[in-house]
Amino acid sequence: MVPPARWASLCLLMVALSTVAADWRAELPTAQPLGAGDFTWFGVRLYSARLWTVGPVQDWNQPFALELRYHRSLSKETLVDASLAEIRRLNANITPQQRAAWSKALEGAFVDVRPGMRITGVHLPGQGARFYVDGTLSQVIADPEFSRAFFAIWLDPRARDPQLRQRLLGRAGNDRGT
């Protein structure tokens, strides 16, 4: 028989290990990569993106994940500001209250990134979004409007980088097989 103190320690260890292992893939266990590509700004590669879907196409009514692997160091403030600027560019009708709430939510989701770090956002239709930093849950945003507006940065036909959008959607050759 296992002594109670040892049993409690084993249980805590199992819980800790399951938490570490439970990254975004636990949300979408059947997801497969649909497409991938790099985002560059004035010739500098900032990140590689990969879109994971549960079906053969990206569908706003199905969950999906967008994984960004960074190639440059960027501050959390830069990531939040750039995300909000693109959301505003694509959605001129967001309210000041939404903008403030979404800014606060993104500040909780993002961190200062270094080369090799990954931030993965998971779109959950009707629920919102979840963000993972290097596989660890960083923020749950229970706002379906936010989720749609955020992922539109890459997936809307008016996305800033239409070639990256096409690659993510699996409609063009992937540039590096990332």
- Residues of the chain with pLDDT > 90, as a percent, come to 78
Q: Is the dihedral of CA 55, 26, 133, 109 positive or negative?
A: positive
Report residue 85's pLDDT band, with 50, 70 and 90 as the boundaries: very high
Q: Is residue 104 part of a domain?
A: yes
Structural domains of the chain, count: 1
Q: Is residue 75 part of a domain?
A: yes
The pLDDT of residue 33 is above 80? yes
Q: Is residue 33 part of a domain?
A: yes
Tokens encoding 139: 């923020």
Report residue 43's pLDDT band, with 50, 70 and 90 as the boundaries: confident
Task: Write out the residue range of the structural domain in which residue 114 sits.
Answer: 24-168
Q: Is residue 125 part of a domain?
A: yes
Report residue 173's pLDDT band, with 50, 70 and 90 as the boundaries: low
Q: Is residue 120 part of a domain?
A: yes
Which CATH number covers residue 83?
3.50.70.10
Q: In sequence order, what are the residues at sequence separation of 6 or more whose Cβ sits closer than 8 angstroms to the Cβ of residue 151?
A: 64, 66, 121, 123, 129
The per-residue pLDDT of the chain, averaged, comes to 87
Contact 147, 124 (CB under 8 A): yes
The model's pTM is 0.83
